[in-house]
């Protein structure tokens, strides 16, 4: 196995042509091509240089001095997914000019609809197999625990941006942009997010394990439309928080009182019922709880 691949190594120049210097580390005798426009200085025979070693997309061993990625063997960082191959895995851009790194399908979810898509991001390091092929290696739970910071109680009800890093039957594990760990229970999402997907979540609690409990569902004021808001505000100011109108009321009365069609009214009532803000009992629309719709 080539021990240099995926790492920054020191080498000396042994030859050149119009486009490349050819450099060689002392320890293994492998020769790498270094584009002259990427060398930090003009090199002469025996001159020393340091750079990142990899096999480019043309299967040539190459060194780069200007595009040294933060993702390396035993060095983790986020890379952006740039393409998907269902028979192989996903390819991640780590900053090399002529090489994207594959994350094997063996390391991805069984359900392909939960695979990362273009634009998603993965926390990876590099590994080299017995055939000197470089692969992206997903960070494990211990890596995320090591890099995580403890959340504050004042974060309750905050909005956070986060990246999905693990899919489990019990829920979705994420890392926020501020490096707090988070958990999304299946009841707090309308669909399961993909691995690597960026999500916008709301903090609904702090767990005893030092992570955030998050929700992908909107707050009540975000979930209901203008028609529902109008009905809700009328209920708040009505005697006993009740109105003598339901989705069974006649279209003419609804139009006269609310200025909307029967269909609009029913949809609005449906939103309010779904959010458990109102109920309908004996021909009355009843307010169940008050929330600030302009938070």
Say whether 221-287 and 149-215 share the same fold.
Answer: no
CATH architecture group of domain 221-287? Orthogonal Bundle (1.10)
* Domain 8-64 coded CATH 2.40.50.330: yes
- The confidence band for 129, taking pLDDT boundaries of 50, 70 and 90, is very high
- List the domain boundaries for the chain: 8-64, 77-139, 149-215, 221-287
Q: Using CB atoms within 10 A of its CB, is residue 148 exposed (0-12), middle (13-18) or buried (19+)?
A: middle
Chain segment 164-186, per-residue pLDDT in tens: 999 999 999 999 999 999 999 99
Please tell me the pTM assigned to this model: 0.75
| Per-residue model confidence (pLDDT) at position 223 | 54
Fold for domain 149-215?
OB fold (Dihydrolipoamide Acetyltransferase, E2P) (2.40.50)
Put the strands of the sheet holding 278-281 in their side by side order.
Answer: 242-243, 284-287, 278-281
Exposure on the CB side of residue 82, measured as CA atoms within 13 A: 13
User: Under DSSP, is residue 252 helix (H, G, I), strand (E, B) or coil?
Assistant: helix
Calculate the average pLDDT of the chain: 92
Looking at 18-22, 221-225, 275-279, which range is the least confident one? Answer: 221-225
Answer whether CATH 2.40.50.140 is correct for domain 77-139.
yes
pLDDT more than 90, % of the chain: 75
**What would the pLDDT profile of 25-73 be if each residue is shown by its tens digit?**
977 789 999 999 999 999 999 999 999 999 999 999 999 999 999 999 9
């Amino acid at each position: 196995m080539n021990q240099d691949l995926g790492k920054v190594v020191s080498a000396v120049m042994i030859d050149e042509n119009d486009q490349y210097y050819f450099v060689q580390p002392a320890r293994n005798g492998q020769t790498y091509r270094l584009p002259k426009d990427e060398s930090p200085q003009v090199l002469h025979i025996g001159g020393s240089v340091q750079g990142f070693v990899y096999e480019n997309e043309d299967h040539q061993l190459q060194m780069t001095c200007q595009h040294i990625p933060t993702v390396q063997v035993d060095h983790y960082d986020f890379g952006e997914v740039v393409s998907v191959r269902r028979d192989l895995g996903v390819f991640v851009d780590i900053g090399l000019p002529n090489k994207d790194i594959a994350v094997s399908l063996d390391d991805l979810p069984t359900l392909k609809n939960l695979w990362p898509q273009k634009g998603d991001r993965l926390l990876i390091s590099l590994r080299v197999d017995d055939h000197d092929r470089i692969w992206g290696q997903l960070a494990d739970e211990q890596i995320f625990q090591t890099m995580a910071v403890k959340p504050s109680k004042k974060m309750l009800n905050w909005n956070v941006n986060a990246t999905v890093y693990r899919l489990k039957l019990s829920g979705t594990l994420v890392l926020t942009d501020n490096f707090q760990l988070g958990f999304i229970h299946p009841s707090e999402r309308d669909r399961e997010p993909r691995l690597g997907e960026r999500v916008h979540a709301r903090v609904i609690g702090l767990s005893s394990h030092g992570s955030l409990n998050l929700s992908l569902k909107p707050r009540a004021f975000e979930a209901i439309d203008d028609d529902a808001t109008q009905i809700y505000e009328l209920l708040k100011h009505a005697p006993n928080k009740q109105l003598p109108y339901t989705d069974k009321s006649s279209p003419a009365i609804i139009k006269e009182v609310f200025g909307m069609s029967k269909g609009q009214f029913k949809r609005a009532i449906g939103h309010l019922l779904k959010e458990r803000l109102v109920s309908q009992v004996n021909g009355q629309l009843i307010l169940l709880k008050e929330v600030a719709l302009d938070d």
